[in-house]
Each structure stands twice: as C-alpha cells, then as structure tokens.
Amino acid sequence: MTQWEVVIGLEIHAQVTTQSKLFCSCSTQFGSTPNTQVCPVCTGMPGALPVLNRTVLDKAITLGLATHCTINEHNEFARKNYFYPDLPKGYQISQLDKPICSLGYLDVEVDGSTRRIGLTRIHMEEDAGKLVHQGSDNIKGATHSLVDLNRSSVPLVEIVSEPDIRSAKEAKAYMESMAQIVRWLGVCDGNLEEGSLRCDANISLRPKGTETLGTKTEVKNLNSFKSVERAILLEIERQTDILDEGGTIIQETRHYNEATNSTKSLRSKEEAHDYRYFPDPDLVPIAIDRAWVSRIEQTLPELPTARHKRYQTELGLSDYDAGKMTVDRETGDFFEATLSLGSSAKEIANWLNGDISAWLKEHSSTLAICKLTPAHLAEMLKELINGTISGKIAKQLVDDMLETGTHPSTLIKEKGLAQVNDTGAINQMIDIVLSENPKAVEDLKAGKVQTMGFIVGQVMRKSQGKANPDQVNKRLKELFSLS
Ligand SMILES: [Zn+2]
C-alpha cells in the first residue's frame, strides 16, 4: 500500500493590538454593545475614505523582522471582492501580490529537534463584521440574523506559511510558537477565546518520496491549539481513507466543529482570481524607507527562543525552567529584573514556577497585574538564603506579598516571622516537645531514626514554623547520639 506524506501549510490571522481600527479612528475594544464602534468608513458608506493606521504598519514590520522576512519597501492594498452580509463594502481591503513582508521563517522545537518552517508572506488586512444568528447557533435553523459591525475593519495580520509542516503535532507547535512571538512583540494579545488569533490549515497528502503537491483542502475555524492538532489529524485520516481506496480528493473548504470533533464540507474551494483582486484606488501604495525599518529593528527585543538558549548556557537553567521563564514577556522580564538584584537564577525560577504561579492561577491574576515586585521577591530570597526566615515562612511571605504588596522586611518585623536561630530557645522548645511525647523518646533511645521527623515537625509547629529545622535536627542527633 502507498505510504503517504502529509503536507500542511497554516494561515494564521492575528488581530493587531491597537486602540483604533485599520482605516478609521473607531475603537477596537472587545465585547462592547453591538454597532457602537462604527463610523461611515468601517460601515462602507458611500464617499467615506480610508486612512491607514500607522501603528499597524509598524507592528507588521516588527513581526516581519522577528521572523526573518524581507520587508517590502513598496507594498500596497488590494480589494478582495465578495458578498456577505457582514461585509457592507462588498470587498475586504487586504494585500495580495505586494504584501508588507515576504519570505521569512520560524524555527520550531518539536520533540527536541528544530524544524524550520518557511513563511510565504505576512500581509495586513481588515476583519469583517459578525453575524449573530437568532434562534439557533448557526445560520441553518436561525429565524433571522443580526449584523454587528464593531469588528468590521479591525486590523489583522495574516501569516501564511510555506507547506513545510509534516504532522499535526508540528502544526500545533508552530501555532504555539507563533502565538508566543506575537504576544512577546506586543503585535497581538494572543487571546484565542476572544478570537484574536485564528488559524486555517491547508492539508494534502502525496506518495512518500514524491515532490508534486496533492490536492489540498482547507480546514477553517481552528480556534485553539488543541483544535489545530485534532482537526488536522481528522483530515489526514479522511484523505488517507479516500486515497487508499483509489478515490480523489476534492479541493474544498471544510469547517471544523470543536464540540463534535468533526469536519464537514463548506464549499468547493475558490481560487484567488474568483475574488477579482485589484489595487485599492482609495489607498496610495505604501513606501517604506530603510531608515524606518532600521528604527524598528533597533527596538526589537531579544526573542523568546534566543532567551531560552541563553538561560540554559549562561545561567545553567534546565530546559524546563528556561522554557517556563520565557513563556511570555512579562515572566521573562520579571525573572531578569529579580536576577539583576542579585538572586540566584535557579531560586527565582523555583519560586516563580511553584508558589507564585500557583497563587496567580488560583486568583486568576498575572505577574503584570499582581502586587509582587522583583525587588520584593529578591529581598525575600535574600532573607531566606541568609537564614533570617525559614522555607515555610518564605511561602507564607510570598502569599502576603502577592496579596498586599507589602515589603518582606516589613512583614517579617510586623508579624515576628524571623527564624529562631537562638540555641537556647530552640533547646527549650525541644525539651518541652520531648516531655510531651514519652513514647517518641523511648523510640529515639532505641535508635529509631524515623521518629526524629515527627519530633522536628512538633517543634516546628510549636514555633509556628520559625525554628531553624537544621538546628533542631542537629540538637536531636546530639541528644540521642544518632547519626
Ligand atoms: Zn470606523
């Protein structure tokens, strides 16, 4: 039987983070009352003229540079003509053969090895409005539909990959990596739930060892990383079955349903010429000079992959920790700021990955909005390392700092949390605990080392976590001649 090779290309639509829309000053705020963020331009009124939002151009260039694209100094907008009720102009303003960026790549880590995925182009375009179907979830069965144009003309960049992806897993890794980069650069907020990042997949099969591309289908509505992987797996299976039985693949667009994990045919796939693209006469071609691009190039931050590698080679972090510390820009910057105050990389990573991340998750918060600062974390770590506080108290402090934003030394002083290192005080507590637990004393005398943990625990409890556990251990060993 023929062995099939999977060929996948992804088109990712990312909403560009801006205050206003692509060609007018209407707000891009998500979730507002329908049709309150509209004007003659984004509703396609006759005579209204679009003016390009420069921020979108800057952000598209930023993304292009970060993904090794050529920035096309001459690029232009084109009209993509089609009719749908959510598109009042009857055309979408997009870019076709003269996009802002072309021919880049993204290196993606899959199962410990690096795969280079080529980028055909990145272009700017406007979003369409939204249909709200009444009486049903979808258009079939709806009694009528309402049009909300708040989203009409919201700026997007479409990132089109080469057909370089070879499995569903790779596709998911590529999408995750792209999401991380657009968020890192501030190009897009990466919010999949609000539709800021959407993906369509072009999938085809060909006999292993051949070069000619097979007929592809396009699967739409992939709104989560999981959907990307699951929908592609389904489509590979569907195409394999057809080809194995000697059938042919029909070029079509299929819709993925996340709830039922199934795809169904939407329409036979249209070609670019069906849209009668032509240069938009209302918008002048864009001319970008080198100095403009250089200016943006100079503000480009160190990218997550580079940082990930640096944390491993320069700071000795594990692959896991380095990945966690570069998961997003705010974590990376928080980590760096704490590091610059003299804390150890491993200690910071442990606390950020452990107690801090658990607290943030529980309180639906993030490092950017919580009250903990790098200075406070660094100070707490210093007190922990020099023995002023115990590990147990440190955990309590982290919670308090996150909750109230109070400086750790203030908390230590106010709540009397300093670790008890005074030998006299510790010995006294041990004596009390031993007198309360005669059975344990017998066991210790008989050399049952495991009983020591129980006694240490009791002493820690009596001291409300403040006794230095090392000293308690040492004293008990002396008392009962244990090793
Ligand atoms: Zn508008």
pLDDT tens column, 9-34: 999 999 999 999 999 999 999 889 99
Check: CB of residue 196 under 8 Å from CB of residue 35. Answer: no
Q: What is the model's pLDDT at position 230? A: 93
CA angle 172, 178, 183 (to 5 degrees): 125
**How far does residue 421's CA lie from ligand 1's centre (Å)?**
67
**How far does residue 28's CA lie from ligand 1's centre (Å)?**
9
**How far does residue 198's CA lie from ligand 1's centre (Å)?**
23
Domains parsed from the chain with CATH numbers: 4-292 (no CATH), 303-389 (no CATH), 423-479 (1.10.10.410)
**How far does residue 450's CA lie from ligand 1's centre (Å)?**
73
**How far does residue 38's CA lie from ligand 1's centre (Å)?**
4
CA end-to-end span of the chain: 68
Check: CB of residue 437 under 8 Å from CB of residue 457. Answer: no
**How far does residue 21's CA lie from ligand 1's centre (Å)?**
7
> In angstroms, rounded to a whole number, what is the distance separating the alpha carbons of residues 254 and 217?
7
| Segment 214-266, tens digit of pLDDT | 899 999 888 889 999 999 999 999 999 999 888 898 898 999 988 888 888 88
Question: pTM for this structure?
Answer: 0.79
**How far does residue 154's CA lie from ligand 1's centre (Å)?**
9
| Segment 141-191, tens digit of pLDDT | 889 999 999 999 999 999 999 999 999 999 999 999 999 999 999 999 988
Check: CB of residue 345 under 8 Å from CB of residue 339. Answer: yes
Among 200, 242, 205, 239, which residue's Cα sits nearest to residue 223?
A: 200
**How far does residue 42's CA lie from ligand 1's centre (Å)?**
4
Using pLDDT thresholds of 50, 70 and 90, give the confidence band for residue 193.
confident
**How far does residue 34's CA lie from ligand 1's centre (Å)?**
13
**How far does residue 26's CA lie from ligand 1's centre (Å)?**
4
**How far does residue 188's CA lie from ligand 1's centre (Å)?**
20
**How far does residue 25's CA lie from ligand 1's centre (Å)?**
6
